[in-house]
Amino acid sequence: MGRPFALIVIANVVLAAASGCADLRPGTPQAEPNPSAVTVTTTQSVTAQPDPRPRSVQLEGVDPCQLLNDQQLASLGVLGSLRAATARSPSVLAGAPGCTASSFELQYSFLVIASSGVGLPEYLSKVRSNPTRKDIRVDGFPAVEEEGLTSVPERGSGECYVNVDVADGQMLQVQFSQIGASPGNRLPIGTLCAKAGEIAEAALATLQGG
């Protein structure tokens, strides 16, 4: 584990993570993103107020490491433990609890943050503009997908964020990233975004008792 891949210092989220690794092994079946659950809209402009959500899902007191059950983790190829984390300043979501898993072998990671103090409209009003930002829906919930501003997928580095509006003043953020992946492990940005959406969908299913 000599690579610095476990250090997740991405854009607006700086994390203090507990020790431990998750194992996402080659050849493990990967669930395909559900096209009916993750839908990209045709517009590239993101409004200040999200579209109506199907219901409100509360995140206060939620442990993000409990949002993915064993069956979901297996479908995502995660065979090891998750690690607790906390978003730190200068992140807009500073103080919100998070959960992360990394693969040293495949050189990618994901991060889930459950913010009960900052909602999607407020978040978007405080972060930098991003030309890749677009409206999507995840399991019927309004969401915003965007690439990391420093993504260079052809060099094996980059990340994609899916930010889901779950309730007034609350949002779920999922980040899927690579840092310096070797040529055989490099994923295109579209795949990074699809996997972030897949994880968001799984977390929403758990939150809704699915």
User: What is the per-residue pLDDT across 30-88, written as a single tens digit (0 to 9) for each?
Assistant: 333 443 445 543 333 454 566 789 999 999 999 999 999 888 877 776 766 799 999 98
Count of CB atoms within 10 A of residue 168's CB? Answer: 10
pTM across the whole model: 0.78
**DSSP-derived 3-state class of residue 107:** coil
Mean pLDDT of the chain: 78
Q: Does the pLDDT of residue 105 top 90, yes or no?
A: no
Q: Does the pLDDT of residue 16 top 50, yes or no?
A: no
pLDDT, residue 80, reads 66
pLDDT, residue 30, reads 37
Rg (CA), the chain: 16
Confidence of residue 122 (pLDDT cuts 50, 70, 90): very high
**In contact, 141 and 54? CB cutoff 8 Å:** yes
Domain locations along the chain:
4-207
